[in-house]
Amino acid sequence: MTGLFTAPALSTPTLARSWRQPEGIDPRGTLLVLPGRGEHPLVYERFGRRLAADGYQVHALATTPGDRTEDVLARAAEAAGPDPVAPVILVGSDTGALQALHTAADADPRLTVAGIVVAGAAPTADAATGAAPTTGARETGAAQDAAGPWQAELAARTACPAHRKRLTEDGAFVRGSLDAPVPDRLRSGARPAVPALVLHGAVDPVTPLGQARELAARLPRATLGVVRDGLHDVLNDASHRTTAAVVVLWLERLRADPAGRPILTVEEPAEPEPAEPGAAEPEAAEQVEEGAEGARS
């Protein structure tokens, strides 16, 4: 998927970017992506292209952590257009995830939000400064210190080699942004009533997994997905294919049934009933005898 990347030049403005379904395919919904600290719309090109291939219109917005909810809503409504294809879903990462929660909680006739994807939400605890600690990341603290602060930030964000390369070569990406504090207004517990898919890395060193579990428990219609060995940028981590597939499955379920009942349920095969003692032994003995007879003939 690295060939899909289009890293912006230093002079390229970070405007909203869109990816649409292939020609001849009816759109299945509208996704509005809210980037996190340091990011810009093209950081989600891989995610946007992948979801667009499944028929969804994806618009990544040029929002920033400091944007008010009213500003986020206005930009989302503008990107979606006057008649967006339903369902309209807000997809947020880091501070963008918190903005998605607050925007969906404030009902507005300009944009009818049917659901949200909360991916690697920024920390909301009072003591959180937004810094990117190294505990739990895949490189050791000593290795990170030796490599410098940028390598430490990469280690906290993603284990995907392609995405690490992209961020390193991206002149529009703002390094060190994970050290920026999360705006106080985003730390309050928004509780939208719409369905929510909460995705979080199991070893996210920026935001504890416990915060995601508490959020999912607080929301009235939430599904929690924990990415094994996942870091902070869960949509762009090493398991980005699996994560995108889970998003598509959730979207399809939302489209098919507002109650959220699964379309397909994976069941383990039933255990075979144990054979009666000695039942298989005569057959095995007979086979051995036949083999022996054949050897003598």
pLDDT at 259: 80
Positive or negative torsion for Cα 35, 41, 42, 48: positive
Each residue's pLDDT tens digit, 28-71 = 999 999 999 999 999 999 999 999 999 999 999 999 999 999 99
Query: Letter for the amino acid at 3?
Result: G
Each residue's pLDDT tens digit, 109-134 = 889 999 999 999 999 986 444 444 44
pLDDT (mean) for 251-257: 95
pLDDT at 274: 78
Q: Coil, strand, or helix at residue 96?
A: helix
For residues 236 and 154, the answer to whether their CB atoms sit within 8 Å is no
**Statement: residue 245 has pLDDT above 90:** yes
Query: Letter for the amino acid at 147?
Result: A
pLDDT at 14: 59
Place of tokens 């597939």: 245
* Spatial distance between the Cα atoms of 293 and 87, rounded to a whole number of angstroms: 71
* Spatial distance between the Cα atoms of 14 and 193, rounded to a whole number of angstroms: 32
pLDDT at 134: 40
**Nearest partner of 115 among 87, 75, 93, judged by Cα:** 87
Each residue's pLDDT tens digit, 147-198 = 699 999 999 999 999 999 999 999 999 999 999 999 999 999 899 999 999 9
Contacts of 281 (CB under 8 A, 6+ apart): none
* Spatial distance between the Cα atoms of 128 and 115, rounded to a whole number of angstroms: 27
Where on the phi/psi map is residue 174: left (φ > 0), alpha (ψ -120 to 50), or beta?
A: beta
Angle between helices 95-105 and 69-80 (to 10 degrees): 80
Element of type H or E holding 161: helix 161-169
Q: How far is CA 101 from the centre of its chain?
A: 15
